[in-house]
């Protein structure tokens, strides 16, 4: 065959020409693709052509193109492009072009692309769901731990008071158990709150200027004493020359090292606690320090090493050997805190023999003005000679009783209580009585404590608006603290609190 | 007289347009996802007992598209109704639905549109109630091509609107 004949053969086998009248009845067809008979209604054979009747009825010269149309034939399925040509007062022409193989190839590619997009979307949704679930869980735990603070406050404070009464030996031992259990519970609540705060990314590190040598030496002194009290050796070492000053959140930094060292002492019955601090390098205005804490205690089973930093995953059986209480949050907190320092923590251990934690952390280098501002804050002892007139705005009877009890022990404290203040009268009373301090609960029955604080702090009388306010509350999440800070309160006393904590907050607000 | 109405089914890919039609026309469902390219045309006659009429719905199952403006205009020629299907489990399939529907309303005024939230078997009734607040200004229905929930009602209601 010559080229023309090849061309005619291929075209004639992939193109079909049909003419139809205004009612969609077939006038003629070359039948190279669809097998049609004259005088049949094309729309009744293939519903696709139904719409053509309306287009032909427009009775004008026009061309309509329809691509990628699927037809099911008796033997197979085909995918075609269809062109409709309409004319004035003449039959319409339909051209069908078979592109089945071309479209099948395209379908294969589209299938892969769409499946990949859908599975990606599903993974994203699943991740989002898991994140929301985790956030809900964290918020729930944080709120729940707040709810527990109120009743615990009564237990902590009154076991403290009970100890000061005349008790026989057995009663004293019972009170000691109540006290240690409630302290344990209090610590757990604080740890839960801590962990959730860190997980909710609510932890903002302070930038205190610290002399690392004196900071580490102080920690060494504390834990040397604790180790010796338990009959353990304490070996400490500082490798390299530590920088003179670093910038770090002092409380969180101490929390990391204290937590690891406390565990080391707690889980070791005999042998040595080893604490090493090393200076690694200075790079881009950052100091890298590492810390090794090793004990010769119960160790951690190999299969639990991977999960030791997960919440509520203490290696129970071994820890119980050490006859100590463990609640599996300390290491989670440590890990989360270390991460906020852009650091890392590793653990190695041999069961029944030893455990070693290695912590690497980065600290910013302070500038000269930071160092000049360095002041050592020392807690001032409470001065019992100064008369203090305090108004307690609180509807919890437990808190009222605790503070009345404390006030009765300190003759210089005069405590008035207003459990349910009516706002206008409350301000009048404050003006009349000239209190030295207001202790304000937040959850009051008729009025929000925060609203009352604003009324005081925005009052026209300079004396009144300068009245110091301590918020007494169990609501101490970051967002709560921001509200109190914005209201310009002087301090926040977290429930449950001890007498010592209460007096310390008085001192910090009122001075000696 | 024979009544035949062209109904165009649109929406993103993978929302279950073909499955809905297959459930309605053939009473079958397959878990397998097969991409539609171009357009498949199927028809089914629907009887409306209230006024004793039969309507042939010619269903144009268009390939999935996230932007209605990109749909070949020839596919929409002579449409008597639109069914806009979205997947209740995939927010991306209804994120821009209001704009899409407004576009249809403007370009094809007076053509009825039904919004269909498909895969209702995979979500809770509460979720459907929440999502329905988005479509208060539209005629909407929630279906499952898998369980056939509301599938016949969807097409029957549409047929009633068209006669």
- Residue ranges and CATH numbers for the domains of chain A are 13-98 (3.30.450.20), 104-199 (1.10.287), 208-367 (3.30.565.10), 380-510 (3.40.50.2300)
Mean pLDDT (chain A) is: 84
What is chain A's length? 512
pLDDT at residue number A169: 85
Alpha-carbon distance A138 to A260, whole Å? 24
CB A267 within 8 A of CB A295: yes
* Region of residue A348 (left: phi > 0; alpha: psi -120 to 50; beta: else): beta
Please state, in angstroms and as integers, the Cα–Cα distance from residue B75 to each residue in A20, A23, A41, B104, following that order: 20, 21, 21, 13
Please give the ipTM for the structure prediction: 0.89
Pull the structure tokens for residue A191: 């740890």
DSSP state of B64: P
**CA–CA gap between residue A98 and residue A78 (Å, rounded):** 7
| The predicted structure's pLDDT at residue A28 | 94
Q: Angle A444-A449-A450 (CA atoms, 0-180°, nearest 5)?
A: 145
Q: How far apart are CA A131 and CA A478, in angstroms?
A: 20
CB of A394 closer than 8 Å to CB of A417: yes
Q: Are B94 and B134 in contact (CB under 8 A)?
A: yes
Closest chain A CA to residue B63: A68
Whether residue A205 is predicted with pLDDT greater than 80 in this model: the reply is no
C-alpha distance from A69 to closest chain B C-alpha (Å): 5
Write out pLDDT tens, residues A280-333.
988 888 899 999 999 999 998 888 888 888 765 544 444 433 434 444 567 888
Order of strands across the sheet with A413-417? A413-417, A388-393, A437-440, A469-473, A491-494
What average pLDDT does the segment A32-53 reach? 90
In this prediction, residue A321 carries a pLDDT of 37
State how far the Cα of A282 lies from the Cα of A274, in Å rounded to an integer. 25
> Is the model more confident about A337 or about A197?
A337
Q: Do A114 and B14 touch (CB under 8 A)?
A: yes
A411: Cβ contacts below 8 Å, ≥ 6 apart: A384
Given B33, B34, B38, which is nearest A67 (Cβ)? B38
Partners of B6 on chain A (C-beta within 8 Å) are: 50-51
**In the predicted model, is pLDDT for residue A84 greater than 90?**
yes
CB contact under 8 A, A47 and B42: yes
For position A1, what pLDDT does the model report? 53
Q: Which residues of A fall within a CB distance of 8 Å from B34? A: 111
Q: How confident is the model at residue A6 (pLDDT cuts 50, 70, 90)?
A: low
Owner of token pair 């991977």: A306
The CA dihedral of A438, A443, A447, A453, to the nearest 10 degrees, is: 30
Query: In this structure, what token pair is assigned to residue A124?
Result: 């994203």
Name the more confident of A179 and A384: A179
Closest chain A residue to the Cα of B12, Cα to Cα: A114
Residue A283 has a pLDDT of 85
- Cβ within 8 Å, pair A107-B35: yes
- The SS3 call for residue A458 is coil
* pLDDT score recorded for residue A369: 62
Residues of A in contact with B64 (CB under 8 A): 114
Q: Could B14 and A68 be called an inter-chain contact, meaning their C-beta atoms sit closer than 8 Å? A: no
Question: Which of B26, B42, B58, B74 to mutate to probe the A interface, most A CBs <10 Å?
Answer: B74
> Of B12, B20, B4, B6, whose CA–CA distance to B118 is shortest?
B20
Interface test with A, best of B22, B40, B56, B123 (most A CBs within 10 A): B40
Which residues on chain B are in Cβ contact (under 8 Å) with A103?
Answer: 37-38
**Bridge partners (DSSP) listed for residue A359:** A291, A345
Report the residue of chain A nearest B79, measured CA to CA: A51
E strand or H helix that includes residue A256: helix A250-266
CA–CA separation, A272 vs A426, rounded Å? 60
Each residue's pLDDT tens digit, A158-175? 888 888 888 888 888 888
pLDDT digits (tens, 9 = 90+) for A400-411: 888 888 888 888
Establish how many alpha carbons lie within 13 A of residue A331's alpha carbon, considering only the half-sphere containing its beta carbon: 24
**Percentage of chain A with pLDDT > 70?**
89
Residue among B36, B18, B20, B11 nearest B97 (CA): B11
Q: What is the 3-class SS of A377-423, one letter each residue?
A: CCCCCCCCCCCEEEEEECCCHHHHHHHHHHHHHCCCEEEEECCCCCH
Out of A193-197, A416-420, A435-439, B32-36, the most confident range is A435-439
Structure tokens, B88:
């209740």
Residue with the two structure tokens 């004990």 = A295
If one counts every other C-beta atom within 10 angstroms of the C-beta of residue A65, the result is: 13
A432 Cβ partners below 8 Å, 6+ apart? Answer: none
Helices A100-163/A169-199 angle, 10° precision: 150
pTM over 0.80: no
Q: Which residues of chain B have pLDDT under 70?
A: 1
């Amino acid at each position: 065959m010559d080229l023309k004949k090849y061309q005619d053969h291929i075209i004639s086998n992939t193109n079909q020409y049909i003419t139809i009248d205004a009612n969609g009845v077939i006038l003629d067809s070359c039948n190279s693709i669809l097998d049609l008979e004259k005088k049949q209604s094309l729309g009744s054979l293939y519903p696709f052509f139904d719409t053509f009747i309306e287009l032909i009825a427009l009775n004008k010269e026009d061309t309509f193109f329809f691509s990628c149309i699927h037809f099911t034939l008796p033997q197979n399925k085909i995918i075609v492009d269809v062109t409709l040509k309409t004319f004035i007062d003449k039959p319409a022409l339909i051209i069908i072009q078979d592109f089945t193989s071309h479209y099948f190839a395209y379908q294969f590619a589209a299938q892969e692309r769409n499946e990949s997009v859908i599975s990606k979307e599903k993974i994203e949704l699943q991740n989002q769901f898991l994140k929301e679930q985790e956030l809900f869980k964290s918020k729930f735990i944080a709120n729940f731990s707040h709810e527990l603070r109120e009743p615990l406050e009564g237990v902590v404070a009154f076991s403290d008071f009970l100890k000061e009464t005349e008790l026989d030996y057995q009663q004293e031992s019972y009170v000691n158990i109540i006290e240690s259990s409630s302290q344990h519970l209090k610590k757990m609540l604080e740890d839960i709150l801590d962990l959730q705060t860190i997980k909710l990314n609510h932890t903002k590190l302070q930038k205190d200027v610290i002399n690392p040598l004196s900071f580490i030496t102080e920690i060494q002194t504390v834990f040397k004493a604790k180790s010796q009290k338990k009959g353990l050796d304490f070996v400490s070492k500082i490798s390299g020359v530590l920088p003179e000053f670093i910038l770090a959140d002092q409380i969180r930094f101490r929390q990391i090292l204290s937590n690891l060292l406390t565990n080391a002492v707690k889980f070791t019955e005999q042998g040595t606690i080893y604490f090493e601090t090393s200076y690694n390098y200075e790079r881009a205005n950052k100091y890298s320090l590492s810390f090794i804490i090793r004990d010769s205690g119960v160790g951690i089973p190999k299969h639990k090493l991977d999960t030791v930093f997960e919440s509520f995953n203490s290696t129970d059986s071994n820890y119980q050997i050490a006859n100590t209480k463990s609640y599996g949050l300390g290491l989670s907190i440590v890990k989360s805190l270390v991460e906020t320092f852009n650091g890392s923590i590793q653990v190695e251990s041999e069961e029944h023999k030893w455990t070693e934690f290695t912590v690497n952390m980065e600290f910013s280098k302070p500038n000269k003005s930071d160092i000049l501002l360095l002041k050592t804050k020392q807690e001032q002892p409470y001065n019992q000679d100064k008369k203090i007139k305090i108004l307690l705005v609180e509807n919890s009877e437990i808190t009222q009783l605790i503070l009345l009890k404390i006030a009765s022990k300190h003759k210089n404290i005069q405590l008035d209580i207003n459990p349910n203040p009516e706002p206008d009268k409350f301000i009048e009373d404050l003006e009349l009585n000239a209190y030295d301090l207001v202790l304000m609960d937040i959850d009051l029955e008729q009025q929000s404590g925060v609203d009352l604080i604003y009324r005081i702090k925005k009052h026209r009388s300079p004396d009144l608006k300068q009245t110091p306010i301590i918020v007494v509350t169990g609501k101490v999440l970051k967002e709560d603290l921001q509200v109190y800070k914005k209201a310009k309160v002087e301090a926040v006393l977290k429930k449950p609190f001890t007498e010592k904590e209460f007096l310390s907050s008085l001192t910090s607000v009122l001075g000696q | 007289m024979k009544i035949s109405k062209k109904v165009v089914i649109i929406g993103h890919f993978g929302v279950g347009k073909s499955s809905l039609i297959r459930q309605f026309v053939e009473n079958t469902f397959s878990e397998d996802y097969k991409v539609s390219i171009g357009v498949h045309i199927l028809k089914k006659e629907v009887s409306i007992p209230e006024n004793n009429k039969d309507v042939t719905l010619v269903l144009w199952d268009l390939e999935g598209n996230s932007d209605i403006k990109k749909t070949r205009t020839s596919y929409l020629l002579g449409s008597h109704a639109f069914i806009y299907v979205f997947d209740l489990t995939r927010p991306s399939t209804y994120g821009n639905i209001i704009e899409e529907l407004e576009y249809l309303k403007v370009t094809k005024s007076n053509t009825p549109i039904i919004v269909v939230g498909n895969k209702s078997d995979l979500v809770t009734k509460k979720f459907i109630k929440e999502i329905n607040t988005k479509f208060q200004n539209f005629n909407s229905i929630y279906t499952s091509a898998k369980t056939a929930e509301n599938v016949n009602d969807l097409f029957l209601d549409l047929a009633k609107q068209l006669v």
